[in-house]
Amino acid sequence: MLRQVADGVLVHESEFLRSNTIVVHGRAGVLLIDPGLQDHELACLANDLSGSGRAVLAGFSTHPDWDHLLWHAQLGEAPRYGTARCAAAVREQLSDPDIKIQITEHLAETEIAGQVSLDLYGCVTALPAATTRIPWDGPEVRIIEHRAHAPGHAALFVEERGVLVAGDMLSDVLVPMLDLDATDPIEDYLAALRLLEGLAADVDVVIPGHGSVGGAGQVRERVERDRAYVLALHEGREPLDARIGPSARPGWEWVSDLHHAQAQALAARVRPGQGGVEAAQARADLGRPCGTTG
């Protein structure tokens, strides 16, 4: 289930949306980042860790999308951290008494219907604002917080292992998904890409939230590809991007639909005479139930 990608860093790729779960070994246990999706995957992960004598010391959710907020009772009661903004966004979600019903209804349309437990959904402990390190007994893990994709989104950099955990950025299968509720989603995304690009020289392994793990040199390539996509959106051009269009990976053609809905929503934000209702509808067309996508 778990595959080693660097010294003391392992990854499991889910069957669903190629979602990546990351395990970082510490002295007495592990840090579990974006722990996963389906119940059987989480139970298997818990069994693997237990079998190797590794307790979960801490968890971390890179951002407040539903698929990054799940947990399993067998993983224990370790604190599950997120940035202050991430935790605030989760609290806002949970203030809606129908949030779990909405997620369940969304999942009913997917191949993992009935396979995701929401019993421990969203139990995120807010780190103090401007916290730059995850508090745990293991290698230092830097928190690179920014405003791209979702409120309180954070990449994590395991410095001594040369591993960048990118959250829902730098994917080879998904185009950049902007936070369309933000004041300036384009600049937010470009600023985040600049932050990640600044780490590139020290990164040997990059792990996106969805898709393939990349090796040395991949950070700059993925940043450049994502920047080109975002700039094309900004300029109203159709991006030349292999993740969309005729050359898209088999089974991932729906990413083109996501792209076109996103471009439409961005155009609606700035089109003269088209305001709140139309822009809100354009955002809804992205199919982001409960304010979430991936």
Residues 6 or more apart whose CB falls under 8 angstroms from that of 150 comprise 63, 64, 65, 86, 89, 168, 179, 292
pLDDT at 247: 80
Show contacts of 270-277: CB within 8 Å, 24+ apart.
none
Residue 8's CB is within 10 A of a number of other CB atoms, namely 16
DSSP code, position 4: E
pLDDT tens digits, 243-264: 998 888 888 989 999 999 999 9
Residues 6 or more apart whose CB falls under 8 angstroms from that of 70 comprise 35, 36, 37, 42, 116, 117, 118, 120, 121
Cβ-contact 178, 230 below 8 angstroms: yes
pTM of the predicted structure, to 2 decimals? 0.90
pLDDT at 294: 52
Closest by CA to 150, choosing from 107, 89, 95, 204, is 89
* Band (282; pLDDT cuts 50, 70, 90): very low
pLDDT tens digits, 124-134: 999 999 999 99
pLDDT tens digits, 51-83: 888 999 999 999 999 999 999 999 999 999 999
Domain boundaries along the sequence of the chain: 3-291
Closest by CA to 121, choosing from 94, 161, 83, 159, is 94
- Token pair listed for 141: 């893990």
pLDDT tens digits, 182-198: 999 999 999 999 999 99
> What does CATH list as the number for 3-291?
3.60.15.10
